[in-house]
Structure formats: structure tokens, C-alpha cells
Structure 1
Amino acid sequence: MKINSIKLITVILITLLLSSCVDDNFEVPTPSGNEENSELSIILGNIASEADWNLVTIADLKARFNSGDAPLLINENDVVKGYVVSSDRNGNFFQEIYIQDAAENPTTGIKVVLNLRNNYTKYNVGREVYIYLNGLYLGETNSRDGIITIGGKIDAADNNEVDVISENQLKDHIFRSAVTETIVPKTISVGEINDNAVGTFVRIENAFFPPALDGEPIVDPNEDFDTQRTLSSCSGAGFSNFILETSSFANFSSVKMQSQTGGFIDAVVTKDFRGDNFVLVINDIEDIKFEDTLCQPLTPFYSQDFESFGSTSDVEAAGWTNVNVNGGSTTFTLRNFGGNQFMQASAFRTGENPLEMWFVSPAINLDSNTDEELSFGTKTGFNNGAALSVLISTDFTGDVTTATWQTLNATLANGPSSGFQFDFTESGAIDLSSFSGDVYIAFKYLGGDGDVTTTFQIDNLTIVGN
């Protein structure tokens, strides 16, 4: 959606003069003839048999580029595979597609810019595509916007930006397989929208338009290009806001918003023009399903921010178990920085390898609540590997080695390798509704001096419910 206004106006005028309306009887396209299939077969054969041909992941590809750098020319026989998740059929995307690394539960995605109108007729949602990268560029269409992009050349107007893959380049670089998968939106919380999510198709549940937008069109009629609308989602004990960005050229731009009901929204994660904010972009107005009663925040019934403690021993006296299972002396410690207190673990300069330490909550009873959700924050410093995991037990009696533990699916901090990250990373809402009675939440650190020594900080443990 990030476009140069002059370029856009020129293309729109040409479109009006030379093209007819979009065919409403669209059918999923198949690869055109044997030539495209043969080319893809050759590429896949080279990957299987030639040492200098590589199938790379989207994550590995994105890791090669740092926001703000000059475009990177790829001069190796690398190929990346992905599944198309965006569509320009309704005018909300322009000269771009987004692909993610799996049809379901993707880990990341990437933007591809191409000089092709109505590209949904060739690269339909769910289509498996292979991109031969040799001769293409990795960069940003707007320098420092943080949206890592595959392009065909350096922009003539700005050497720090990439431009579209030309129609002539397309036939040599982007190949469709015969596979079209059903794209399953990945349900995430607003707090889990991050750089890894850019380019993926996600679902935000318990979402709604605020009353101030009731009756307003989804696109501001005074805007020439994009309109950003702030929506809300119930999140634990409160609300989280997120931005829906819609093009004035979308054929649903005049649809009125309503705030009486809520539900879910399925959309592609990207960023705004300057890269200041994450935004969601829908393919179709039908991607907004607000047909349910408005959600209500859950009520906190357990919280711990460690602010009331004066020392690590005070934390332990309050019922927290803090143990080193290797017999060493290193355990989680209470720390303070910038007026904020948290628990910290690190193997750095401990002289212990391996180092396994556990920090376990007191018993937390769930019987008086329903729909329980756990959340907390983590921060890392001098990250050189994953060391922390989060677990739950219903039979812990004081010995972590004899209890039954189940790993919880939480978003944990990851970076940087030098210094500390600025903000805590939200874990996301972790569903505890299948548990009952007393539960124990454990943070397990597994590392070793001279091995994985990442510093982890933990704060703001909260459990909410109805």
C-alpha cells in the first residue's frame, strides 16, 4: 500500500484508458501451459542435485537485510518458497503480493513488489510460489520503513530503495506450482503483532470499532490514498488498540463502520508508509466479521509485579520456589532498573555449566474463575540463545524434579545480542481454561557459562478470568 502518489495517478489514468472492469467470475488460475511447469521442475531439480542451488527460508532471507541499508543484490542461486496471502482483486493492494512461509501457522512473511495489475489472477491467495532470487534485490520500497521486500531493481529516484520486478523479469523469477492451499489465518493477540508477523495473514479476535467511528465510512473521503482507523480488542483485563489501513482505491472504501457488535478480523500484517506503526490490511470487506456481542475485559484475580519486595529472600518468603537443580548457588535474583523491579536469570560468569534453575510461583487456585488467561513480560540482554521456558503443574509439592510439568506456548523475548532490549515483550494471552484447582507457574532457565548465557528478565505476571 505504500506508493508514490505520482506513480499511482499515472497508473490509474492508464488503467482507465486501457482496461476494462475486473471480471467478477474469477476462477483459480492454473499454471499456463507446460513451459512454466517445466521451468519450475528444472529449478527444483537443480536444488536437489546442484551444490550451488539452495532453497532458503523467508526468515533466513529477511535476516540478510537491515532496515535502512542500501538494497542488496542477490547473486547466488537461492530460491525462496511461499504462499500468497494478499489479493489486489478489491483494490486494497497495489503492485505487490505478500507471501508467508506456510499455509497454516506461519512464522514470517515477506513483501514482493511487481509490475503487474490484477495480479490476483496469476498469484491467487493460497498459491504456492517459488522465487528464483539470483539477480533480484532485497531492500525496502521506502527506506527505513521496516518492510523487507523483494524487488527487481534499484529505484531510479532513490538508490536506497527497491523498485518493482518488471513483467519481463517475472517469467524468469516467479514460478507458480500447481498447488493452491487454503490459508488458515493465524490467531494472535494485538501484543503479538511484531516484525516476524509482517507479511503473514492473521486473525485478531474480540475486535470492534469504537463508538466514535460508528456510521463513518471505512475510508475517510477526504483522504487521497490510505486511511488509518484505530480498532480495539479485548485483551486480558483491558483493551489493546491496533490500526486498520485501507486504500481509497478499495472497492469497499465507502462501507460504513458500526460499533454495536464485534468479532474477528482477518488481515495481512504490514507497516504504514514511514514504518512507524504496524497496520492490518484486509483483502476483502468480508474479512471483517463483526457479528457477536461486544467483548468485555476479563478480571484480574492474580498479579505479581515484584515491586513490594526488598530482596530475593523476600520473594522466596512469599511462597516462590527458587532453586538450582544442579546443586550450584546461582538462582533467579530480584533486580531493579529505572525504578522497575523484576526477576532476572543469567548464566554469564557463573562458572556453572550446565546451569538449570527454576522459579516457581506459589499455588494459584483457578476454581473460582472461568476462561482464565496468563500473561507476563520478558526482556533479554546479550542474547546468544534460547534459555527460558514457561511451564505449569498441578502436582508440584516443592521438588521440581518430581512434579509433572506441561510447557506453555508463550511469546518470549528474543534479542539483542549486544545490550538489552528497551521494552518488555508481552507473552500474549495464554489459555489456562483447561486447568482447575491449584496450579503452579514455573520459569525454567537452562544454559551454561561458556555456552548459552542470555540474560532473561521476568515481570508483570497476571492471571485474568470471568
Structure 2
Amino acid sequence: MNTISKISVAVTLSLGLFVAQSCVHDDDYATPPIECNLPVANITLPELMQRVNANQLNVDSNKAILDDLILEAYVISSDETGNIYKTISIQDNPTNPTVGTQIEINAGNLYNDYPLGSKIQIRLKGLKARLDERAGIIKIGSVDPGFDIGRIPLTEYKKYIFKTCEPVQEIKPKEFNSLAEAMKNENINTLVKINNVQFLQPEIDKTYGTASKIESRELVDKTGSLKGVVVRNSNFADWKDEALPTGSGSITVVVSKYGSIWQVYIRDTKDVKFDQSRFDVGGGTNPGGGNTTEAANLLFKGADFNNWTDFTSSLNTFGITTGLGVQGIGNGRDGSNSFHLNGTTGTTNPFVFTVKAGTLTIPANPKKITMWVKGSAAKSLSFNVETTSGRTFFNLGVFGTENVTLTSQSNNQYSGAVNTNGEWRMITLNIEGMTLNSTGDLFALKAGSGTTYDLIIDNIKID
């Protein structure tokens, strides 16, 4: 009997621990507890938006909701980097959402309580859900006589908003190929990915923002048909001083609107994948600087690899090491051609190719050599630049997650894997203060021994 009692106690303790731990997702006890036994939601986000639009909510004289309405939705925004301030944007589904809205909260660091991708429950009784006439979009917030929608006070928001026990979901943005397709009312406060866009004037705006004020950076797509769509950047964003990317590509944003002005928000600069060359807007009527512009100031003849004969005629007598490179037809930047390093090296570190000096005129006082690279290899690359003071070495090392700038080293090194995960990355060689050869050899690409390479290289230029 004593033994049975001990077993019962042990089982009870084990079950108690299991139940206690089943809803604890981390050890951060400063955050509010995750609620596992929440009441059942009784209104969907599309239903709420429909009632707001039809003025069918049961509200008091201050427009506060009187019914015990309980809503669940998914968090698609984050204030972790400081760009999104005292708000949470939510949508009805993690993929293919039909509607979204914004919750106004007078608190910061909300990403700790309600992480990106988490399912949250909002108890709407006592809150307001209505059109913010200044912004022109529907929001959820508190009663505030001075505003259409107020911010839920710091001391009260945890009474209304709860993180559920559901695991964090991956939020997959809806994808569009133009600004006109994405900038529609049904996409407001949802996460979308827009392809074929670029910043209108990165050479003038230069950075995402400034320390003194909120900045707007205009986007443009290939059609040029929808103007005035801006990326809204806070002066408190961690990345406000980062340079605007000068290329084109895709951007993932939370769609918003202020009156008639379309504005979008990025959560982090990782949402901006401008890894393609600039395009001409509107069929060439407004030059944006496509591949032809990007490939201006080529380091040597054929350095854009579009004309393979031009490239091979720029090489010294050793040419391309057998089995280590071919022309990449159509797989370069914006569909142009490229150099495809796609072979396996032997027991030595080979020169893949070496370029002669004098095939093109080098600009006076050059500061950098740049190129774009995409692909993977277990070992890295080394670049040799020939100067009037001798050979200089630039070693790539581990490469793939971001663009890099390299400085000269004392010898060639090939340690570090390359993996750009299918994205174009820029490599910059800092040659400021160097005088490059005008005769003899000029530039060489070297690879590590005993390694299979699958790298695409394009547009080697000098500025």
C-alpha cells in the first residue's frame, strides 16, 4: 500500500509538471503567460470588417463595443527594429489572407509579447473598431475623445489581447508583379511581396532615413503607371542610416494607406531583395538604369559576359582553365549572360582565368572593383589585382548572406564556404590608392583545390 501511494504521488507530480510545461514556450517570465484555455472566438476578422463597414456593431455613445466579441488573427508586423511604432498589424490567415487590420497600443517592444506569426486573441468588448478617417483605414483601438481611434493604454492592453498556445506560423506574403496589383484596399494591413520594383531615386535619397524625421522613399515598377507609393521609414529604425539599394527586385511589406496616399512598411531591410539590375521604367521612356547601365565602366572587354568572344579575347595566353568555366546563357543579371564557374578543381589552387590590361580604358583614380555572384561552393575564391607596385590579393572567405567589401591581403586564401541561397550578392574590392597595370596582366580569378564550384559571376566593373 505504501508503494502504491508513492507511485500515485510520483504520477501526480509528473502530470502536474507536464501540464505546467505544456503552455510554457520559453523561460522569459517577464512576458505575460501564454493563454491555453481561452474562450472560443465568435467572430472572424472578415465578419468584423463587414460589420464596421455596414455600421452594424452594437456600440455605446462613445462607439465602444458592447457585445462580448472575441476575435483571433495572426500577427504580421514587428516593432523589433523600431520602424513600426505602437501598433500591431494582423490578418485572418497566415497564408492567402482575405483581410487585415491594425491594433493601436500605447506600448513598445510588442514583438516580445506578440511575436511575428503568432496567433492572438482580441476581446473586443470596451474597444473601438472603426474607420480612422485621417488614415482612411479601419483600426482597432480604445476610446479617446481626441481621435477616431485611440491607443489602448499601457496598463490595459494585456486585458484585451492574448497570445494563444498555437505555435508561431510562417507568414507567407501574397505575391504581386506590380504596384497596381498590390495597392488595393483588400490588401491593407496584410503582408504582400511585390516583384519588379526599385527605389525611384536612390542616388538622391541615399539612405532609408535620417535621425531627425520620418522619411518616405518612393517605389516604382516597370510600368511606371502607379506613382506616389512610398516606403515609410521611421527615424527610430535601427537601419535608418543604411544605404538604399540601387538595384531592383522584390520587397515584402505591410500595406497601408493615409488618405489617398499608398504607403508601405518594411519590418527590416531583410524584406528588401533588390538583387537585380535597375530597369527602364515604362518601356524605356524613363531610364532606370538596366543591365547596360549597370555594366558601364567594365573592368575589361567582355566583363559583362554577354559577348563571349570579347571576354575570351581579353584573357592572357592561358585562357580559361579546362573544365572550370563556360558562358552562362540567360542566367546572368536581368536575364543577360554570365560567367559560370561550374567545374571541379584538381590538387592545386587554379587560376580560373587571367585578364590582360589595356582591353578597356581604366578610369582615373579608381576606388573599387565590383561584381555580382550567385551560387555555392565548399571553398571560397581569391581575386588577384595587378598594380604598378605588385600583385594584390583579395580573399572572399565565408560569403552568401550579404554584400561584402574586401581589402587587400598578403596572399591567396580559399577558406570559407560560399552559399548565396539563390540570391545575387555584390563583392566589392577596395582598390583606393592603387595604380593598376596598363600593360601585362590585370585581374585574375582563383579557386580552391579539390572543390566543386557552381557559381555565376556577372558585370565585373571598376569605378
- Give the TM-score taking structure 2 as reference length: 0.49
Q: Relative contact order (alpha carbons < 8 A, sep ≥ 6): 1 or 2 greater?
A: 1
Higher share in strand: 1
Name the larger-Rg structure: 2
- Give the TM-score taking structure 1 as reference length: 0.49
